[in-house]
Amino acid sequence: MKLIYLLPISLSLFLFFNFTPLCIKLKYLRENKNDLLTVQLRILWGIINLKFEVPLIEKSARGVKLAGSLKFKNKTVKEQKSHQEIQIFQLVGRVKYIREKIKKIAFLINLTAKRIRCKNFIWSTKFGLNDAAQTGILSGIIWSIKGCLLSVMKNFFIFKDCKPVLQVLPDFNKSGYRIEFEASFSLYIYQLYLLALVVLYLKHQGGEAIRWKTIQSRV
């Protein structure tokens, strides 16, 4: 008899927990070799607040290094320009690769489409190359990438109460880059299960590498 009484109570608690609103705040800062991702979770209307700071790194064949490291040691100006041109083609190739991945997981993303609210969205990019002309070209490419990604996001997230802010700030005087991204999303906990399916699928597909050699041969 006790189980009969416990069952509806357990079911009520389960439903209450899964339909509890959750606010996720993301803040990413990347400046040359240094980067940091901050994730803040606000649960039960602010009763529970969790904050995580994660420095992002990537693994290379020789060990572990900071992602996106740019070094021009013992290279001529011509070699540096060639290297920067390769990076531009790599960037375009990576965007195409991401678009193909999005198509493959569209059926999973559609499960959460128009159910997650975006309350804040700021994406600022400041950069500079050694060549002013290439800086101008890359500026246009970055604007195109940001516009494309934002249009895709608007198909899956609600931006009703949020006006996205995009900034591209080319620096023609010195090389380097700084990326700042800040966003906050409001959803229910049960929707995290659907997002987890997307993440697991992407992790399972992570073994597919981009063919950078093919991209580089076009330069």
- Note the pLDDT tens digit of each residue in 44-68: 777 888 888 877 654 443 443 434 3
- What the block records as the tokens of 25 is 């705040």
Contacts 24+ apart (CB under 8 A), 92-97: 92/141, 92/215, 93/210, 93/212, 93/215, 94/210, 95/145, 95/148, 97/210
Q: Mean pLDDT over residues 181-188, rounded?
A: 90
Q: Rounded to whole angstroms, how far apart are CA atoms 198 and 184?
A: 19
Give the lowest-confidence range in 14-28, 71-85, 163-177, 205-219: 205-219
Asked whether residue 175 carries a pLDDT value surpassing 50, the answer given is yes
Asked whether residue 196 carries a pLDDT value surpassing 70, the answer given is yes
* Range from 95-99, 137-141, 197-201, 203-207 that averages highest in pLDDT: 137-141
| Residue 97, pLDDT score | 66
Q: How many residues does the chain have?
A: 219
Give the lowest-confidence range in 10-14, 162-166, 201-205: 201-205
Q: Mean pLDDT over residues 155-170, rounded?
A: 88
| Residue 113, pLDDT score | 61
Please tell me the pTM assigned to this model. 0.63
Q: Mean pLDDT over residues 180-205, rounded?
A: 78
| Residue 99, pLDDT score | 64
Q: How many C-beta neighbours within 10 Å does residue 118 have?
A: 19
Asked whether residue 193 carries a pLDDT value surpassing 60, the answer given is yes
Q: Mean pLDDT over residues 123-127, rounded?
A: 92
| Residue 27, pLDDT score | 94
Asked whether residue 103 carries a pLDDT value surpassing 80, the answer given is no
Asked whether residue 184 carries a pLDDT value surpassing 90, the answer given is yes
CB of 187 closer than 8 Å to CB of 18: no
CA distances from 55 to 39, 52, 185 (A): 11, 10, 21
